[in-house]
């Protein structure tokens, strides 16, 4: 396995958006995020908005965890034909949702409703009363769960929100788990089997404690983590020859989800080790070969992109206030 040191972390999740003037305030107001970096690429006609609950300016955005990267293609805000693929339609399914955990789920959701936030699933809907799904301005699903830390009956604070996880659907969990644990060095936090609905959830991420015991994490501890990756496996897809696979969010004209991102101190070394040890791994972009230098994109077994960046990336680029 490649050398994984303590600098490795799941840095960000990238989502394409239609209008930053709508999306940025949405995550600021409703989930306590702060715009910590905005980088414009006028020659490529897009801008990146880096948002994080941790607003500490002494740490570069690329050295943080729990960053939400909103990618705006210039002009989309006034283009009536521009559509986002949320990943949850009847076709082009793949990406599922991002998730925030909060102190008091029921009260938090009531506050969101009072502010006009739309819901795909309210706490009271269906059999699962411990989750809800809000909708962001682009139609992405935003799961809400409860971590219960410092919970006060009848109250909830935006400041309690934690950017907990990102979910994608996978065809073959064995292949996916091998990739994320052996190539990227993730730990398996927990597995949740839903026999009635015939699907299994796998939760992964970085934990640099040598004594950490995998696949033993309880809900409370996991709900307080930041930047977890959730893999959803619908039973039978791995052996279904007619199953065409999931949409990775980046192909065709109907895009949405972009990628998750791993940051570390020495991505050059990491990428070289991956190439040497796992020659069959597919690369969307090899290290330092793009117009943004010192980055790479690896493809997982389902074709989802994982960006690899240095913790110092774009450190000197000015942080612009959003318009």
Cα separation, 16 vs 255, whole angstroms? 8
Q: Which residues pair with 233 in a beta bridge?
A: 170, 200
5 contacts 265 by C-beta, under 8 angstroms: yes
Contact 295, 311 (CB under 8 A): no
Query: CATH classification of 95-239 is 3.10.180.10, yes or no?
Result: yes
Strands ordered across the beta sheet of 257-264: 34-41, 46-52, 67-73, 9-17, 257-264, 305-310, 296-299, 282-285
pLDDT in tens, 143-182: 999 999 999 999 999 999 999 999 999 999 999 999 999 9
Q: How far apart are CA 188 and CA 173, in angstroms?
A: 12
> Is residue 30 annotated as involved in ligand binding?
no
Per residue in 87-128, pLDDT (tens digit) is 999 999 999 999 999 999 999 999 999 999 999 999 999 988
Most distant pair of Cα atoms in the chain: their distance = 55
pLDDT tens, position by position, 197-220: 999 999 999 999 999 999 999 999
Helix (H) or strand (E) holding 47: strand 46-52
Q: Let me know if 153 is a catalytic residue.
A: no
| Catalytic residue (choose from 69, 106, 143, 307) | 307
Contact 264, 311 (CB under 8 A): yes
State the alpha helices, DSSP H only, in 41-181: 105-114, 173-178
CA distances from 303 to 51, 77, 281 (A): 25, 28, 11
**What pLDDT shows up at residue 315?**
86
DSSP H helix total and E strand total for the chain: 5, 16
Q: How far apart are CA 190 and CA 217, in angstroms?
A: 5
Is residue 319 over pLDDT 70? Answer: no
Is 238 one of the annotated binding-site residues?
no
Classified by CATH at the fold level, domain 9-84+248-310 comes out as 2,3-Dihydroxybiphenyl 1,2-Dioxygenase; domain 1 (3.10.180)
Look at residue 322 in the predicted model and tell me its pLDDT: 42
Compute the distance between CA of residue 246 and CA of residue 74 in angstroms, rounded to an integer.
27
What percent of the chain is modeled with pLDDT above 70? Answer: 98
**247 annotated as ligand-binding:** no
Residue 253's pLDDT band, with cuts at 50, 70 and 90, is confident
- Report pTM: 0.97
The number of beta carbons lying within 10 Å of the beta carbon of residue 200 is 16
Boundaries of CATH 3.10.180.10 in the chain?
A: 9-84+248-310, 95-239
pLDDT at position 320: 52
- Report the residue count for the chain: 323
Cα R_g (the chain), whole angstroms: 19
How would you class 102 by CB atoms within 10 Å of its CB: exposed for 0-12, middle for 13-18, buried for 19 or more?
buried
DSSP 255: -
């Amino acid at each position: 396995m490649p050398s994984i040191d303590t600098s490795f972390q799941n840095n960000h999740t990238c989502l394409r958006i239609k209008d930053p003037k709508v999306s940025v305030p949405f995550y600021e107001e409703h989930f306590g995020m702060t715009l910590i970096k905005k980088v414009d690429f006028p020659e490529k006609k897009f801008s990146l908005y880096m948002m994080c609950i941790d607003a500490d300016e002494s740490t570069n955005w690329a050295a943080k965890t729990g960053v939400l990267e909103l990618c705006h293609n210039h002009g989309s805000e006034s283009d009536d034909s521009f559509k986002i693929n949320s990943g949850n339609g009847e076709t082009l399914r793949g990406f599922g949702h991002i998730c925030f955990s909060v102190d008091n789920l029921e009260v938090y959701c009531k506050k969101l409703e009072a502010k006009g936030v739309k819901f795909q699933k309210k706490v009271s809907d269906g059999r699962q009363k411990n989750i809800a799904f809000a909708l962001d301005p682009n139609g992405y699903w935003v799961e809400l769960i409860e971590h219960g830390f410092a919970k006060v009956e009848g109250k909830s604070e935006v400041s309690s929100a934690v950017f907990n996880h990102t979910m994608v659907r996978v065809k073959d969990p064995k292949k996916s788990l091998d990739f994320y644990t052996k190539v990227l060095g993730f730990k398996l936090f927990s597995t949740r089997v839903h026999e009635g609905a015939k699907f299994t959830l796998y939760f992964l991420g970085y934990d640099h404690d040598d004594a950490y015991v995998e696949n033993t994490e309880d809900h409370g501890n996991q709900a307080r983590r930041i930047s977890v990756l959730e893999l959803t496996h619908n039973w039978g897809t791995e052996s279904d020859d007619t199953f065409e696979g999931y949409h990775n969010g980046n192909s065709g004209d109907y895009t949405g989800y972009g990628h998750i991102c791993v940051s570390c101190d020495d991505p050059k070394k990491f990428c070289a080790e991956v190439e040497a040890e796992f020659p069959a791994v597919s690369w969307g972009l090899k290290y330092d070969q793009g117009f943004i230098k010192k980055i790479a994109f690896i493809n997982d077994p389902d074709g989802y992109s994982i960006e690899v960046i240095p913790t110092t990336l774009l450190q000197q680029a000015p942080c612009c206030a959003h318009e």
